């Protein structure tokens, strides 16, 4: 049982990193990313392929995955920086699907649907088999802490302030002379780098990655985490990631009580449950369980709150 | 050989055009990209499957019944899910619509599992003409897509409800001021678009196979067509469908066919870069 | 004097939490023109939007021809014979001129061709440009479309929000002539105008608004003669 808990905690850790990253991109700047699965997959395959096919040591491959994520994020952001947020959603979703398609079809490199087997694990030879999962969990949590720390630093920095100004109203931000485009690309890239790192951690943890894991569904789980927790609030999304995982895993036990459901139906029910909950939360608590503390920037003399908050 | 690809492209375009028109119309009045179209289309395909295979109705009757049922489901999705959230931002509604498409897809999975299915129709030899191969189903698809395009055009141009739809999409406040009950118009738009998604499910089920991911796989090309045509412009969507449909097939010349979905995305990316408002769309004034 | 066709009593309304207009009362009579003047931000447009149902009134009553319309939405208000011409975004840009006019006749399609002929008589250019998309017209022509749309029904009350905004001086003159012409058919006109002097000249009644309240109500002629008013609100425009 404790092995199970450790494994769950590790998965929650992956979710937390992804959620922190999404919170940087969307929660703080309002840049919509539905291609989370794509960046996650990119990180996983980068690190996996670098160790398996290029023979890199895992200690180099994993950071390299983060760098690949940053590069891909910068590219996507540069391409779509001028888009309206709903178009950005479509572009990023398409990006995620493209990455999955490549992983699926370029099977001479990625092994396609058979899955890529990855033997390399960081610090594996220094610990025995029973303590290693705890060590891995500690590593994941260290990355969570690092990502959290960086995200909080950004949030509190002058750049973070101008980012939120962008989110509220990018016309205003431009008038204020903020370097909107550069900040947006930077933040999107940093977020994508976190996602890449999460992918690498995932890859060396499960040691067998295949394209079907990186379905757009991943994006929904992470969006759910951020929305449940409260967009813009890094503490809230840690809670959110935990809740989402609890729902995903908790529903697994339903199978023990309801025996006419097979595994396929159970997993479908789980997704339906997540979807319904997401809709309900957006409806009744659109600002999440732990809303971001109200932030004010140069309000217009006419007063009145910004339009983004007008919904309630 | 290249003529064959051309024909395939037309069939593909015919499959994308009706839902792209519907997506565009819906965007026009609702102002957010509804990702639930994948779920709607899949629901349409399985509804037709239920009528045709499980209840034994003829395909044509099944198609009509499926269109009606899908129209109702889509309308209901507005009443239950979207209507209470009017006034929320596009991103919120977009997340909701993705959640909705997942819900629909997985309800279908619970009922029908992931098994691949087909309609109960006699197998017919494809017609061969000057080395080009085309099935009767594909000819039906082209004919129906044309009929939908013409019917939509007539609806929007010459009927009161059609003009009210355009007026409501154009300026909802003014539409209200002029006495148009925009609530009713919006309800009709959902119903009409729902019927088109249902039809798409039937046609896609004819040309491809019926499975829970049927609609999802069409979503990106549909978005591409609608954006290419200028989102919110139904005529542009028709044009966009032809271009995306052709492009997807013609890439077979240079890329493996499994990258078809990627082509739709590439079109979107390149296009939005060059023209953020699409081909026929008008720039929106940002608030 | 006969009962007012439009009678607004103690109406409060606004956006968000606060009220913009406070206890506004005014009247408009059949065959007469009433004008609301006042500085920017006084709440003039808010009054007219509230009557039109674009904005719901919080308290108070709005009676048209003896029936309470306060609390109704815009489309229901339109069906009670109130025709409103907003100041901005007042045409369907994607629709042709004729389609716009058809939308004007939405609540009452009887006598459509007669009314169309009447609007074409008032604004001949709308006939010439019948198939042009309204979005491609000049500002003045758009204003005619907007006005024409409101006349495609036989309204009891016509509400005009700054009908002269954005028009050239010649066009302003023309617009006010048209307002007078329409009014002569027995319609009650209530308008909001920046162009206070010209508006008051064709009006029977005038209301002066400041800070969300009506501070003065009088004969239009008296208001034009009122020194305080001309100094405060008319002087800058004269």
Same domain, yes or no, for C77 and C160? yes
Q: Answer whether B178's CB lies under 8 Å from C103's CB.
A: yes
CATH code of residue C217 = 3.40.50.300
Arithmetic mean of pLDDT, A41-56: 89
Mutate which of C16, C40, C41 to disrupt the A interface (most A C-beta within 10 Å)? C16
Q: Does B181 touch chain C if contact means CB atoms closer than 8 Å?
A: yes
Looking at per-residue confidence, does B129 or A145 come out higher?
A145
Tell me, what's the pLDDT at B1? 53
Tell me, what's the pLDDT at C128? 95
Distances (CA, A) of C134 to A285, C99, C107, C112, C152: 42, 9, 21, 20, 16
Instruction: Look at residue C1 and tell me if it is in a domain.
Output: no
Tell me, what's the pLDDT at B109? 93
d(CA C95, CA C149): 12
- Counting as contact any 3 or more CB pairs under 8 A, the partners of B are A, C
- Identify the domain containing residue B113 by its residue range: 2-212
Tell me: pLDDT of A45 over 50. yes
Q: Does B283 touch chain A if contact means CB atoms closer than 8 Å?
A: no
ipTM of the complex: 0.92
Tell me: pLDDT of B284 over 60. no
pLDDT interval class at B249 (50, 70, 90): confident
Q: Answer whether A162's CB lies under 8 Å from A176's CB.
A: yes
Provide the domain count of chain C. Answer: 2
pLDDT interval class at B227 (50, 70, 90): confident
Tell me: pLDDT of A97 over 90. no
Provide the domain count of chain B. Answer: 1
**How near does any CA of chain B get to the CA of C49, in Å?**
10
Looking at per-residue confidence, does A217 or C191 come out higher?
C191
Set of chain C residues whose Cβ sits within 8 Å of the Cβ of B25:
none
SS (H, E, C) chain A: CHHHHHHHHHHHHHHHHHHHHHHHHHHHCCCCCCCHHHHHHHHHHHHHHHHHCCCCCHHHHHHHHHHHHHHHHHHHHHHHCCCCHHHHHHHHHHHHHHHHHHHHHCHHHHCHHHCEECCCCCCHHHCCCCCHHHHHHHHHHHHHHHHHHHHHHHHHCHHHHHHHHHHHCHHHHHHCCCCHHHHHHHHHHHHHHHHHHHHHHHHHHHCEECHHHHCCHHHHHHHHHHHHHCCCCHHHHHHHHHHHHHHHHHHHHHHHHCCCCCHHHHHHHHHHHHHHHHHHHHHHCCCCCCCCCCCCCCCCCCCCCCHHHCCC
Tell me: pLDDT of A299 over 60. no
Instruction: Look at residue B247 and tell me if it is in a domain.
Output: no
| Positive/negative CA dihedral, A191, A193, A196, A201 | negative
Minimum-distance CB partner of B176 among C74, C95, C104: C74
8-67 of C, contacting A, C-beta below 8 A = 15-16
Tell me, what's the pLDDT at B78? 96
Structure tokens at A266: 């159970």
255-274 of A, contacting B, C-beta below 8 A = 264-265, 268-269, 271-272, 274
Looking at per-residue confidence, does A4 or A302 come out higher?
A4
Same domain, yes or no, for C59 and C110? no
Tell me, what's the pLDDT at C26? 94
Instruction: Look at residue B143 and tell me if it is in a domain.
Output: yes
Tell me, what's the pLDDT at A254? 63
Instruction: Look at residue B280 and tell me if it is in a domain.
Output: no
Instruction: Look at residue B279 and tell me if it is in a domain.
Output: no
- Report helix angle A36-52 to A85-105, nearest 10: 30
Arithmetic mean of pLDDT, A114-133: 81
CB-CB under 8 Å, B268 with A90: yes
Same domain, yes or no, for C166 and C227? yes
- Identify the domain containing residue C102 by its residue range: 90-154
Looking at per-residue confidence, does C189 or B251 come out higher?
C189
Same domain, yes or no, for C196 and C231? yes
CB-CB under 8 Å, B265 with A91: yes
Portion of chain A with pLDDT greater than 90, in percent = 20
- Identify the domain containing residue A154 by its residue range: 2-215
Specify which of A96-105, A119-128, A299-308 reaches the highest per-range mean pLDDT. Answer: A96-105
Tell me: pLDDT of A295 over 50. no
Tell me, what's the pLDDT at C76? 94
**How near does any CA of chain B get to the CA of C191, in Å?**
16
- Identify the helix (H) or strand (E) that includes residue C108: none
Set of chain B residues whose Cβ sits within 8 Å of the Cβ of C53:
176
Question: Which residues lie below 8 Å from residue B231, measured CB to CB, with a gap of 6+?
Answer: B24, B27, B33, B278, B281
**How near does any CA of chain C get to the CA of B220, in Å?**
27
Instruction: Look at residue A128 and tell me if it is in a domain.
Output: yes
Residue of A nearest to C17 (CA): A304
Minimum-distance CB partner of C95 among B166, B176, B182: B166
Rounded to 10 degrees, the C-alpha dihedral A148/A154/A155/A160 comes to -160
Q: Does C94 touch chain B if contact means CB atoms closer than 8 Å?
A: yes
Provide the domain count of chain A. Answer: 1
Arithmetic mean of pLDDT, A26-36: 83
Instruction: Look at residue B196 and tell me if it is in a domain.
Output: yes
Instruction: Look at residue A62 and tell me if it is in a domain.
Output: yes
pLDDT interval class at A70 (50, 70, 90): very high
CB-CB under 8 Å, A272 with B91: no
- Identify the helix (H) or strand (E) that includes residue B74: helix B59-77
Tell me, what's the pLDDT at A174? 57
Same domain, yes or no, for C201 and C98? no
Tell me, what's the pLDDT at B230? 76
Instruction: Look at residue C177 and tell me if it is in a domain.
Output: yes
Tell me, what's the pLDDT at A178? 52
Same domain, yes or no, for C97 and C112? yes
Same domain, yes or no, for C115 and C10? no
Specify which of A151-155, B55-59, B132-136, C233-237 reaches the highest per-range mean pLDDT. Answer: B55-59
Arithmetic mean of pLDDT, C194-217: 91
B122 three-state secondary structure: coil
Q: What is the rounded average pLDDT for all residues in chain C?
A: 90
Instruction: Look at residue C112 and tell me if it is in a domain.
Output: yes
pLDDT interval class at B262 (50, 70, 90): confident
Instruction: Look at residue C193 and tell me if it is in a domain.
Output: yes
Q: Does B178 touch chain C if contact means CB atoms closer than 8 Å?
A: yes
Tell me: pLDDT of C78 over 90. yes
Tell me: pLDDT of B9 over 50. yes
Same domain, yes or no, for C118 and C192? no
Q: What is the rounded average pLDDT for all residues in chain A?
A: 80
Tell me, what's the pLDDT at A310? 34
Task: Say how many CB pairs under 8 Å bridge B and C.
Answer: 69
- Counting as contact any 3 or more CB pairs under 8 A, the partners of C are A, B
Same domain, yes or no, for C124 and C96? yes
Set of chain B residues whose Cβ sits within 8 Å of the Cβ of A264:
109, 113-114
Last residue of a domain, one of C154, C174, C206: C154
pLDDT tens-place string over residues B193-209? 999 999 999 999 998 89
pLDDT interval class at A43 (50, 70, 90): very high
Instruction: Look at residue B73 and tell me if it is in a domain.
Output: yes
Structure tokens at A101: 């398609």
pLDDT interval class at A110 (50, 70, 90): confident
pLDDT tens-place string over residues A269-294? 888 988 898 899 888 877 777 776 65
Tell me, what's the pLDDT at C119? 93
Instruction: Look at residue C150 and tell me if it is in a domain.
Output: yes
Same domain, yes or no, for C189 and C142? no
**How near does any CA of chain A get to the CA of B94, in Å?**
8
Same domain, yes or no, for C215 and C117? no
**How near does any CA of chain A get to the CA of B160, in Å?**
31
Set of chain B residues whose Cβ sits within 8 Å of the Cβ of A276:
99, 103
Instruction: Look at residue B256 and tell me if it is in a domain.
Output: no
Arithmetic mean of pLDDT, C32-38: 94
Arithmetic mean of pLDDT, C161-181: 89
Instruction: Look at residue B165 and tell me if it is in a domain.
Output: yes
pLDDT tens-place string over residues A231-262? 777 788 888 888 888 887 776 666 566 666 67
Task: Say how many CB pairs under 8 Å bridge A and C.
Answer: 4
| Positive/negative CA dihedral, A280, A281, A287, A289 | positive
pLDDT interval class at A149 (50, 70, 90): very high
Q: Answer whether C203's CB lies under 8 Å from C218's CB.
A: no
**How near does any CA of chain A get to the CA of B82, in Å?**
10
Tell me: pLDDT of C58 over 60. yes
Same domain, yes or no, for C159 and C110? no
């Amino acid at each position: 049982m404790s092995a199970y808990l450790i494994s769950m905690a590790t998965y929650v850790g992956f979710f937390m990193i992804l959620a922190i990253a999404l919170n940087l991109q969307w929660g703080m700047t309002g840049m919509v990313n539905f291609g989370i699965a794509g960046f996650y997959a990119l990180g996983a395959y980068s690190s996996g392929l670098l160790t398996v096919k290029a023979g890199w040591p895992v200690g180099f491959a994993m950071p390299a995955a983060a760098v690949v994520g940053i590069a891909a994020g910068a590219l996507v952001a540069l391409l779509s920086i001028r888009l309206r947020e709903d178009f950005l959603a479509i572009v990023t979703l398409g990006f995620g699907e493209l990455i999955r398609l490549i992983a699926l079809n370029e099977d001479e490199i990625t092994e396609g649907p058979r899955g890529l087997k990855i033997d390399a694990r960081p610090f594996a030879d220094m610990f025995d088999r029973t303590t290693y999962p705890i060590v891995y969990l500690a590593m994941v949590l260290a990355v969570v802490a690092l990502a959290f720390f960086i995200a909080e630093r950004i949030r509190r920095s002058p750049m973070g302030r101008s980012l939120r100004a962008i989110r509220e109203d990018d016309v205003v931000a431009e008038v204020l002379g903020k370097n909107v485009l550069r900040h947006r690309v930077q933040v999107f890239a940093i977020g994508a780098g976190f996602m890449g790192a999460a992918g690498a951690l995932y890859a060396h943890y499960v040691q067998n990655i295949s394209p079907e894991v990186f379905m757009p569904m991943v994006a929904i789980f992470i969006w759910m985490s951020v929305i449940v927790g409260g967009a813009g609030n890094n503490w809230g999304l840690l809670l959110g990631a935990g809740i989402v995982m609890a729902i995903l895993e908790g529903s697994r036990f339903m199978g023990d009580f309801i025996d006419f459901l097979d595994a396929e139906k159970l997993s479908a029910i789980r997704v339906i449950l997540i979807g319904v909950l997401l809709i309900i939360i957006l409806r009744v608590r659109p600002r999440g369980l732990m809303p971001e503390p109200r932030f004010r920037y140069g309000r217009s003399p006419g007063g009145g709150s910004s339009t983004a908050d007008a919904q309630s | 050989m290249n003529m064959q690809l051309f024909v395939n492209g037309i069939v593909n375009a015919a499959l994308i055009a009706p839902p792209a028109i519907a997506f565009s119309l819906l965007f026009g009045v609702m102002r957010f990209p509804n990702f639930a179209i994948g779920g709607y289309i899949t629901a349409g395909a399985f509804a037709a499957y239920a009528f045709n295979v499980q209840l034994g109705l003829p395909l044509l009757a099944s198609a009509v019944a499926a269109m009606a049922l899908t129209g109702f489901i889509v309308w209901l999705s507005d009443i239950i899910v979207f209507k209470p959230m009017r006034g929320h931002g596009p991103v919120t509604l977009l997340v909701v619509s993705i959640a909705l498409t997942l819900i629909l897809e997985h309800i279908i999975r619970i009922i029908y599992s992931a098994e691949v299915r087909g309609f109960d129709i006699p197998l017919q030899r494809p017609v061969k003409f000057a080395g080009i191969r085309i099935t009767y189903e594909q000819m039906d698809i082209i004919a129906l897509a044309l009929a939908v395009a013409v019917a939509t055009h007539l609806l929007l141009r010459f009927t009161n409800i059609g003009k009210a739809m355009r007026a409501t999409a154009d300026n909802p406040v003014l539409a209200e001021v002029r006495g148009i009950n925009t609530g009713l118009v919006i309800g009709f738009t959902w119903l009409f678009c729902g019927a088109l998604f249902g039809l798409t499910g039937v046609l896609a089920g004819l040309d491809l196979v019926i499975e829970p991911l049927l609609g999802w796989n069409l979503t990106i090309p549909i978005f591409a067509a609608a954006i290419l045509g200028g989102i919110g412009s139904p005529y542009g969507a028709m044009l966009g469908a032809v271009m995306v449909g052709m492009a997807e097939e013609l890439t077979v010349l240079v890329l493996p066919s499994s990258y078809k979905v990627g082509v739709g995305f590439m079109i979107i990316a390149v296009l939005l870069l060059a023209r953020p408002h699409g081909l026929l769309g008008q720039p929106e004034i940002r608030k | 004097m006969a009962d007012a066709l439009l009678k607004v009593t103690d109406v409060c309304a606004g956006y968000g939490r606060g009220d913009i207009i406070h206890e506004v009362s005014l009247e408009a009579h059949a065959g007469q023109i009433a004008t609301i003047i006042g500085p920017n931000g006084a709440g003039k447009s808010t009054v007219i939007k509230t009557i039109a149902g674009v904005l719901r009134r919080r308290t108070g009553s709005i009676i048209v021809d003896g029936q309470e319309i306060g609390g109704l939405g815009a489309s229901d208000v339109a069906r009670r014979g109130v025709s409103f011409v907003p100041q901005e975004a007042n045409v369907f840009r994607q629709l042709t001129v004729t389609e716009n006019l058809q939308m004007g006749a939405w609540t009452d399609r009887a006598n459509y061709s007669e009314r169309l002929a009447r609007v074409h008589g008032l604004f001949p250019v709308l006939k010439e440009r019948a198939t042009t998309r309204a979005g491609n017209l000049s500002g003045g022509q758009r204003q005619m479309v907007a006005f024409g749309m409101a006349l495609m029904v036989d309204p009891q009350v016509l509400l005009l929000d700054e009908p002269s905004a954005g028009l050239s001086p010649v066009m302003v003159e023309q617009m006010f002539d048209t307002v007078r012409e329409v009014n002569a058919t027995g319609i009650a006109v209530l308008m909001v105008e920046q162009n206070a002097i010209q508006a008051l000249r064709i009006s029977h009644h005038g209301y002066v608004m400041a800070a969300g309240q009506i501070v003065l109500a009088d004969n239009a002629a008296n208001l034009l003669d009122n020194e305080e008013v001309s100094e405060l609100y008319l002087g800058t425009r004269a």
